[in-house]
Amino acid sequence: MGHDEYIKTMYRIDSVKKQIEQMQRLLSNLIEDEIETHYASHKDTGIVYDKRVIGDNLTRLNHEMDDLEERLSEQ
């Protein structure tokens, strides 16, 4: 991995970390719906979120983070 590729990878790692933190913060601010378990409302805005979508995004981001860290360790 060249210097340019290393820098791009580090920037992407930083970006993915921020996205993961954002999703986790969002999840911590959701109020569960007692009837419909897949949906939750944001405690401040009232916006309703599908927790399955958030979970899928977190899974995708965590897989990408694993791939990026593996790429760095291969150096």
Cα distance between residue 25 and residue 27, in whole Å: 5
42 SS3 class: strand
Q: Are 11 and 4 in contact (CB under 8 A)?
A: no
pLDDT given at position 54 = 96
Residue-wise pLDDT tens digits, 10-56: 999 999 999 999 999 999 999 987 888 899 999 999 999 999 999 99
> What pLDDT, on the 0 to 100 scale, is given for residue 14?
97
Q: Phi/psi zone of residue 46: left (φ > 0), alpha (ψ -120 to 50 degrees), beta?
A: left
